[in-house]
Amino acid sequence: MNEELHERIRDLVRAIPPGHVSTYGDIAAMAGASTPRLVGRVLREDGHDLPWHRVLRATGVPAPHIVRRQLELLRAEGVLADGDRVDLRRYRWSG
């Protein structure tokens, strides 16, 4: 991945406002990335200073290894989940 794409992904994640979420696929499409997996890679390797918790799977469900922490952070911003699923129709940010 080139540096320009990396920074576009970071900028888009940073732009998701509190109280909203986006999906890995949404961010990938906006950034021009070939796959949503690149968004996950950026967040995993260089996302500690970003609101990573606002990025979800296409189903509105966090990844299993971070589900509790992610839903806790989202809840603090007013994003409520039904079980482990966030209603994307209600909370989705489209840039």
For 39-73, write each residue's pLDDT tens digit.
999 999 999 999 999 999 999 999 999 999 999 99
Question: Tokens at residue 42, please?
Answer: 């950026």
As a whole number of angstroms, the distance between CA 81 and CA 17 comes to 17
What pLDDT is stored for residue 57 in this prediction?
97
Q: Is the pLDDT of residue 94 over 90?
A: no
Q: Is the pLDDT of residue 95 over 90?
A: no
User: Would you say domain 3-91 falls under CATH 3.40.225.10?
Assistant: no
What pLDDT is stored for residue 18 in this prediction?
98
pLDDT in tens, 9-39: 999 999 999 999 999 999 999 999 999 999 9
- Where exactly are the structural domains of the chain? 3-91
| Contact (Cβ atoms closer than 8 angstroms) between residue 93 and residue 20 | yes
